[in-house]
């Protein structure tokens, strides 16, 4: 799907394109989402560049993600999609700066694109170019990453509190699997956000080099880029902190599970020791020997019961005294 945005009355409006061979010359932002062959060819004809394929965008080498070709700056970053669901995913997104236009190529639906399109559709500065749109997108992506990390941090704190509350109580084994699944999901989401931030940081560094070489960026845009660069660095550090915290919470959870298992094994061991002497007594008097004096006793049966009871109580009292129970 091709979305074309052009300036109109103090905003950047989406233009309905009926004919792909007649794209508006004043288009500032051309957004290609899962483009079909006709759409990417029309954009290539308008801006005079080659649109990277999906396979090209998935390359992980820096030289394949950040490069200049025919005076166009190609920048591919990894963005996180579906963070509000249970299965977040990453997807490559290409930003191409050529002249005063920005071309974006994507095969997923990162939320910042929708937010920026809505924001610029309401109002935008006069003379907005592709550079400004790129900065808006980068800022929205970083803000979105910060929101996700804040939510992950709050969820990890809740999980941590739940774990240490469970450690004081027994019989909570049914909740352990749910907690472990939550920890795994938060760790996976944090790693994806960190991967996205690292790629965005590389894009910003590449743009900063472009500033030094071309000098076409305004003073305000340069200051905004420096702010974005600091934000990316701080968020990357925060993502690393969250990863370490998630590892700690996971270790704590596994420790609680091991403690619960040890308590169960200890209970079975104590029961085995407590029941061993009564079992021995019952086994002795269950033997089929003819000459057993106690079998002729009038009170032999209650005596055997009392002996078995005493033999069971004595080890239990001893374990309690040693504080093993």
What's residue 212's pLDDT? 55
The dihedral through the CA atoms of 58, 61, 66, 69 has a sign that is negative
CATH 1.20.58.340 fits 264-321, yes or no: yes
pLDDT tens sequence for the chain (325 residues): 888 887 777 787 877 776 667 666 777 888 888 888 788 788 777 778 888 888 888 888 888 888 888 888 889 999 988 888 778 888 999 998 887 888 888 888 888 888 888 888 888 777 777 888 888 899 999 999 999 999 999 998 888 888 777 655 555 656 777 888 888 889 899 999 999 999 999 988 888 876 655 556 778 878 888 898 899 999 999 999 999 999 988 888 888 778 777 777 877 887 888 888 888 888 887 787 777 777 777 777 888 888 888 888 888 888 777 776 6
What's residue 179's pLDDT? 84
DSSP letter (8 states) at residue 296: G
Domain boundaries, the chain: 2-260, 264-321
What is each CA distance from 139 to 92, 113, 145, 231, in whole angstroms?
A: 17, 11, 10, 9
Q: How crowded is residue 257: how many other Cβ atoms within 10 Å of its Cβ? A: 19
The CATH homologous superfamily for domain 2-260 is CorA soluble domain-like (3.30.460.20)
Q: The whole model's pTM is what?
A: 0.78
For 76, list phi and psi in degrees, rounded to 5.
-115, 125
Tokens of 133: 């749109």
Total residues found in the chain within this entry: 325
- Please determine whether the domains at 2-260 and 264-321 fall in the same fold group of CATH: no
For residues 43 and 116, the answer to whether their CB atoms sit within 8 Å is no
């Amino acid at each position: 799907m091709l979305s074309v945005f052009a300036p109109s009355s103090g905003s950047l409006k989406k233009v309905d394109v009926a004919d792909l061979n007649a794209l508006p010359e004043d288009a500032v932002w051309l957004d290609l989402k899962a483009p079909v062959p006709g759409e990417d060819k029309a954009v290539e004809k308008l801006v005079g560049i080659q649109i990277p394929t999906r396979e090209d965008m998935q390359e992980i080498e820096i030289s394949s993600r950040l490069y200049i070709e025919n005076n166009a700056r190609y920048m591919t970053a990894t963005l996180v999609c579906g963070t509000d669901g249970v299965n977040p995913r990453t997807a490559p997104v290409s930003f191409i700066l050529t002249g005063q236009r920005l071309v974006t190529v994507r095969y997923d639906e990162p939320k910042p694109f929708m937010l920026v399109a809505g924001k610029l559709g309401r109002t935008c500065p006069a003379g907005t170019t592709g550079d400004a749109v790129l900065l808006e997108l980068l800022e929205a992506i970083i803000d979105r990453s910060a929101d996700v990390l804040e939510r992950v941090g709050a969820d990890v704190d809740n999980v941590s509190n739940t774990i240490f509350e469970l450690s004081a109580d027994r019989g909570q084994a049914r909740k352990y699997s749910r907690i472990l699944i939550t920890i795994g999901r938060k760790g996976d989401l944090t790693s994806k956000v960190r991967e996205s931030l690292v790629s965005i940081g590389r894009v910003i560094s590449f743009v900063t080099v472009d500033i030094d070489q071309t000098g076409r960026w305004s003073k305000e845009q340069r200051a905004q880029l420096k702010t974005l660069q600091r934000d990316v660095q701080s968020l990357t550090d925060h993502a690393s902190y969250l990863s370490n915290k998630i590892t700690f919470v996971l270790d704590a959870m596994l420790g609680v599970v091991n403690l619960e298992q040890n308590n169960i094994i200890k209970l079975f061991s104590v029961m085995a020791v407590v029941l061993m002497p009564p079992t021995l007594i019952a086994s002795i008097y269950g033997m089929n020997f003819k000459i057993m004096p106690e079998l002729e006793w009038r009170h032999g049966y209650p005596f055997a019961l009392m002996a078995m009871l005493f033999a069971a109580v004595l080890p239990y009292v001893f374990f309690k005294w040693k504080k093993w129970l």
